[in-house]
Structure 1
């Protein structure tokens, strides 16, 4: 885990406990079981939706996206503003805003359980 990802525990300390999980070459950032942020290439992105998008756009914060088979796909995450790394109150405000966005997006996806193995029963 990068030092940047480890530092997010301190950045978001006023939100309460966060968890980080590796995913697709980056990390998902979770609070109370909901992914509210992601890290890719040591850049933090916060979850956004129609209610919060204007906050990101007025600061010119770009969307997280990736290219696959020559097509660009943008996700509902926007780059976090720089001030959250210096101001814990701002970090809590932006973090809660992203977490509330995650809550509005619906129930968290449950981890899939592996299919039960079919065992050979004993003949009776």
Structure 2
């Protein structure tokens, strides 16, 4: 996914910075990472407080194969209902931003 398309997804927050990392991209707002682009998919940051909302909306948690076991990361897919609805997407972006801020504390 190109940087312009990624930035557009986060318009509701304002300016984002996109940096290459680990074969993908990190999406930052005010210097805080809130999303990843992995294999063309945007994954939003979640935590113990917001992850249940992502799960209830049908989103999938990013899990990769570690050396001895699967490793679950605190990033979730965007729920399908938000992919074509900018207002709905802004709700999920805000949840990711809130989780990112909580993780900094």
Shared fold, TM over 0.5 = yes
Q: Please state if 1:40 is matched with 2:38.
A: yes
Taking the aligned partners of 2:44 and 2:66, their CA distance within structure 1 comes to 22
Structure 1 position 9, deviation (Å): 1.1
Please tell me whether the aligned partners of residues 58 and 79 of structure 2 are also in contact (alpha carbons under 8 angstroms).
Answer: no
Within a 5 Å distance, the mapping from 1:22-33 to structure 2 comes to 22-33=20-31
Match of 2:52 among 51, 54, 70: 54
Alpha-carbon distance in structure 1 between the residues aligned to 2:4 and 2:65? 27
The structure whose Rg is larger is 1
User: 2:103: which partner in 1?
Assistant: 105
Q: Is the 8 A contact 1:36 1:47 kept in 2?
A: yes
State the match for 1:12 in structure 2. Answer: 10
CA displacement, residues 27-51 of structure 1 (integer Å, 9 cap, x when unaligned): 1111111101111111111111121
- Give unpaired runs (5+ residues) of structure 2: none
- In the alignment, the residues of structure 1 paired with residue 102 and residue 59 of structure 2 have an alpha-carbon distance, to the nearest angstrom, of 21
Conservation of the 8 A alpha-carbon contact between 2:62 and 2:74: yes
Q: TM-score, normalised by structure 1?
A: 0.76
Q: Which secondary structure does the structure 2 equivalent of 1:105 belong to?
A: helix
In structure 2, how many angstroms separate the alpha carbons of the residues matched to 1:23 and 1:33?
15
Give the CA deviation at 1:70: 4.2
CA distance in structure 2 between the partners assigned to 1:55 and 1:8 by the alignment: 22
Q: Where does the alignment leave 5 or more consecutive residues of structure 1 unmatched?
A: 108-124
Number of residue pairs the alignment of both structures matches? 105
**How does the TM-score come out when normalised to structure 2?**
0.88
